[in-house]
Amino acid sequence: MDNAAIEEMFAALGPVTVKRMFGAKGIYFEGRILALEVDGDILLKADVESAADFEAAGSVQWAYDGKGKPVKMPYWSIPEEAFDDPDEMARWVRLAYEAALRARK
């Protein structure tokens, strides 16, 4: 996904910064990472407070292969309904930013 499309997705927050990292991209707002772009998919940060919301909406938690065992990361796919509704997308990216804020405490 190109950076302009990523920036549009996160417009409800304000300007985001996109940085290349380990074959993927990190998406930052006000210095905090709140999402990743991996293989063309955007994954939003979640934590103990918000992961259940993502799961209930049908999102999938991202995991990578760590020496034969899946390693779950605190990033989730975007719920399908958010792609067609800017207000829904805004809700999910705000949840990701809130998780990023909590992670820094």
Whose tokens are 């930052």? That residue is 28
CATH number for the domain harbouring residue 7: 3.30.1460.30
**With 70 as the cut, is the pLDDT of residue 46 above it?**
yes
Share of the chain above pLDDT 90, in %: 88
pLDDT, one tens digit per residue, over 56-76 is 999 999 998 888 899 999 999
Structural domain including 24 reads 3-103
Place 105 in a pLDDT band, splitting at 50, 70 and 90. Answer: low
Edge-to-edge strand list for the sheet holding 41-45: 17-21, 24-29, 32-38, 41-45, 69-77, 61-66
Q: How far apart are CA 96 and CA 47, in angstroms?
A: 9
Please give the tally of structural domains in the chain. 1
